[in-house]
Chain A
Amino acid sequence: MVDPKFMTDPVDPPYARQSNPLVLLAAEVWDHLWPWSHHGFVRRRAIVAAEFSLGIAATIVWILAAMGRLEAGALIGWWFGWSVFEVIIRMGSKPYVKEGPWWGRNYRRANLMDMVCYVGFKNLLIGATLFLALKWAGLLTV
């Protein structure tokens, strides 16, 4: 029976019922940073995803480079390509997103748009942090 409280069917990642909150937090952090899962790794899908995202990243980097903005462009292009890759990979390996409060334990199956939103938003935060850190450290010129 469909549960109308969730936008999609509820699912539990392996760590969802972990009683120790610190272990749960660590598992979630790992989940955010590592898109692959052992059971979900499908060789063919990974190769297709890699080719697809690499193509997008390379195109963006080349266009930006042609416009003389290689340094920041390379990073943005690479990050964008990575995000596309991550969406495809996660749909196969970790196809779920959190529902409701971030401190809660409700998860649901992710459709493509959910995953685009999740990866886009997460990588924007990580990317912005990295970008500012690199700029602050003087390793990136814009």
Chain B
Amino acid sequence: MHVLRNFLFLITLCLLSPLVLASAYEAKLAPELNTAADLCAYAPCSEVLPGAVRFSTRKGHPPYVEGFDERDNRIGYVMLSTDITDTPAYSGKPIVTLIGMNNEGRFTGIRILKHSEPILLLGIPESALNKFNDQYLGQFTGDKIEVGRTRPEEQVIGVDAISGATVTVVAQNQVIMTSGMAVGRQTGILEPVQRTPARFIERGHKPDWATLVTEGSVRNITVRNEDVGLPPGEEPFIELWFGYLNQPDIGRSVLGELGWQRLMERLKEGEHAIFVIRTAGKESFKGSGFVRGGLYDRILLRQDVDVFTFRDLDYLNLYGVLTPGAPSFNESAIFIIRSTGFSGAYPWKLAFLGNRVDQATGQRSFANFDTDYWLAAEYLEGGRPKIEKAAAPWVRIWRMRALEIGLFAALLVAVAAVYANRDRLTRASTRKNKWPVNAFKYTAWVISIGYVGFYLMAQPSITQVLTWFHALLFKWTWELFLTDPFIFLFWIFIIVTVFLWGRGLFCGWMCPFGSLSELIYKVSGAIGLKRFQFKLSQRMHDRLKWIKYWVFFGLLAVSMFSMGLAEILAEVEPFKTTFLVGVFNRSWPYTLFVAVLLGLSIFMERPFCKYLCPLGAALAMPSTFRWFGLKRKQECSTCHACAAGCGSLAIDRNGRIDHRECMLCLDCMVLYTDDHACPPLAQERKRRQKAGLPLTPIGKDGYYIPITPVSAHAAKPATAGE
């Protein structure tokens, strides 16, 4: 007993050891990290900017700090990713990253401070992400760096992904590049983009407020209390309206003829003016802590990747909005954009910057609320210029892997089509020759193991179900799930087929691990180990099958309290070890677990699928309500021919099929129309042969089509007709 206890403790320790080492997983960061002026008092800045001995306080928008060497020369910059972007990774939460960059805009160090990525908790070591980050060291922030292969013809530098963590690294690439560029633009490392200045059409009308709103010449930003972590209230946290004043019709409508003329006289060549008014809320958009000579830290303007902030000299009073129908307001401003890089012809965004307070922990985090603005085409000579938007990361991945995605989609469609035609295949098969069915099924298994499992690493897992559930609760982003096209497509297939036919088509035909397990069983039987193979008694099976449901409910319940712990416990699935990380890349308890399961599969059909798989349990539950089940005859209630051959033990003593357990192997459907194997059919066949009656085709009900003699009376009209 004592030895057993020690053994269990050792196993637990080994299983949990990666968690202990994964120091950045849900690491507790100082709350001041997000807000303190002295960022580097709370973050290891010198680690990402080697040689720096002193750091400035946070400056700029979005914020960064400057690093200085011993001789007090500035040698680079350090930025906290969450100050700049809240791009979520696979967990739905951002990876908090500290990034260092030298004066030339080359990355000098990247350090993960906190992440919530389940795959990095167990499975893939955290060092893999660090290794991924190291690929950026020495790279220029203005370069096009993407996850994937290098494409010199497009000036794209590729960085290697982490197998099994594609979504995580795509998000991380976006975080690093966005952060580097945001700081690079502010510090002059990256030149602002020169855009063609707008040439306005003066229509000579004075639009009212409703017209301005309709045509998009004034837009609004509304921030609700709950958006910044405050209790909901009737009044929003802040409601702003803003618009572009250089366009004569809009400018005259808002400021009046005289006001607009004066404003235009004050503006120099290449300068632009916008107005902002607050129509609801008590929060100031100018900032209560604003000081003369300082920067307005709650408002900024973005045009593509360029950021324009406002100082006190860029501010003018706005005493009134003269547009008919304009709302009343209690704070107002005119801001001047003093940059030739800005153009009124191109779209831009006004952003209100706030802090979101986590009510549970009191932690504040950066929050950005912005609204797009683009002058209507009728105000611009030649209309709106054409803009080629850079494709989103998930679009690039779909393009890059188009062939593989196409093949995978074709595979899914083909398997569904084959199964939809199961009646033809089962009729073409007999109990002794099931190849018309098995040829397709075994092919699906082999492709599933080799192509889907080992090559694409597209093994669905219960962790995805939990992740989706949490994304639904906290932050759902389609892009996040689209980033892994194979898993995305696989889940569409699973959802559709579960409702059509039950979980069996995925579990029995397409699940890479399930296929591997059953293939081992079949091959073992074929090479002479059949005499060692066994099935549990139905009674024992009916007891053990509930384990997987308890595992699933357990994981679901634990995930409510701790997603991290649920991820650890989800190691009951051997998928990561088998396909994502590799049996030889993990510590021995995981390898042993896989070996035991696959070893057991030599002697027993799909032991993991039947008794342990939480994903199978999760899919079995909606399978209760699948639309189309397998066929049965009344005689099945007393005849046990199908039940005896059912590898899934899904047919009970009354001949009923439990569709939650059925893997849709179709063996029982082959028997259903086999007049040499299905006892009631065989009996009828013998009776007809003995009586010299013809063997009519077998109908949909599984019986010979009855022979109905045509009566002379019924035949008469036909004869008459001739």
Query: Could you list which residues of chain A lie within 8 angstroms of chain B, going by C-beta atoms?
Result: 1-8, 60, 63-64, 67-69, 71-73, 76, 97-98, 100-102, 113-114, 116-118, 120-121, 128, 131-132, 138-139, 141-142
Contact A121–B560 (Cβ < 8 Å): no
Q: Tell whether A98 pairs with B634 under 8 Å between CB atoms, given A6-B656, A128-B472, A131-B473.
A: no
Chain B residues whose CB sits within 8 angstroms of the CB of A117 once the complex forms = 621-622, 624-625, 660
Size category, B interface: 35 or more
Given contacts A67-B561, A142-B474, contact A4 B654 (CB under 8 A): yes
Beta-carbon contact of A102 and B627 below 8 Å: yes
A138-B226 contact in complex given A3-B634, A97-B625, A120-B621, C-beta closer than 8 Å: yes
C-alpha gap A132/B474 in the complex (Å): 10
Query: B-side interface residues toward A, CB under 8 Å?
Result: 224-226, 229, 231-232, 359-361, 472-474, 549, 560-561, 621-622, 624-625, 627-629, 631-634, 636-637, 654-660
Q: A72-B473, A131-B472 are in contact. Are A101 and B628 (CB under 8 A)?
A: yes
What are the residues of chain B within 8 A of A3 when measuring CB–CB?
Answer: 634, 637
Whether A68 lies near B656 (C-beta < 8 A) is no
B473 near A142 with CB under 8 A, answer yes
18 A-B interface contacts by CB (under 8 A): A1-B634, A1-B637, A3-B637, A4-B657, A5-B631, A6-B656, A7-B656, A7-B659, A64-B560, A69-B360, A73-B560, A98-B625, A113-B549, A118-B625, A121-B624, A138-B232, A141-B359, A142-B474
Q: Which residues in B have their C-beta under 8 angstroms from that of A118? A: 624-625
**Chain B proximity of A103: nearest CB distance (Å):** 9
Closest chain B residue to A121, Cβ basis: B622
Q: Of all chain B residues, which has the CB nearest A114? A: B624
Chain A nearest CB from B478 CB (Å) reads 14
Q: How far is the CA of A76 from the CA of B229 in the complex (A)?
A: 20
Choice from B229, B472, B561, B636 contacting A4 with Cβ under 8 Å = B636
Query: In the complex, what residues of A have CB within 8 A of residue B633's CB?
Result: 4
Contact B232 A141 (CB under 8 A): yes
Which residues from B are CB-within-8-Å of A5? 629, 631-632
Instruction: Give A13 Cβ to nearest chain B Cβ, in Å.
Output: 16
CB atoms of B232 and A76 under 8 A apart: no
CA distance A68 to B229 in the complex (A): 13
Interface pairs A-B: 3 shortest CB-CB:
A68-B360, A4-B655, A4-B636
Find out whether the CB atom of A121 lies under 8 angstroms from the CB atom of B625.
Answer: yes
Complex Cα distance A116/B624, Å?
Answer: 10
Smallest CB separation, A81 vs chain B (Å): 13
Identity of the chain A residue whose Cβ is nearest the Cβ of B624 in the assembled complex:
A117
Are B658 and A7 neighbours in the complex by a CB distance under 8 Å? yes
| Chain B residues in 8 Å Cβ range of A68 | 359-361
B226 cross-chain contacts in A, Cβ below 8 A: 138, 141
Q: How far is A100 from B501 in the complex, measured between Cα atoms in Å?
A: 10
Which among B360, B549, B633 has the highest number of chain A CB atoms within 10 Å? B360
Instruction: Chain A residues near B474: list those with CB within 8 A.
Output: 142
Docked Cα-Cα span, A3 to B658, in Å, equals 13
Q: In the docked arrangement, what's the CA distance between A118 and B621, Å?
A: 8
A71 to B359, CA, bound (A): 10
* Contact, CB under 8 Å: A2 / B628: no
Known A5-B632, A68-B359, A132-B472; further 6 A-B contacts with Cβ < 8 A: A1-B634, A4-B656, A6-B656, A7-B657, A63-B561, A117-B622
| Contact A76–B621 (Cβ < 8 Å) | no
Neighbouring A residues of B621 by C-beta, 8 Å: 116-117, 120-121
Quote the shortest CB–CB distance from A29 to chain B (angstroms).
Answer: 16
Known: A3-B637, A4-B637. A60 touches B560 (CB 8 A): yes
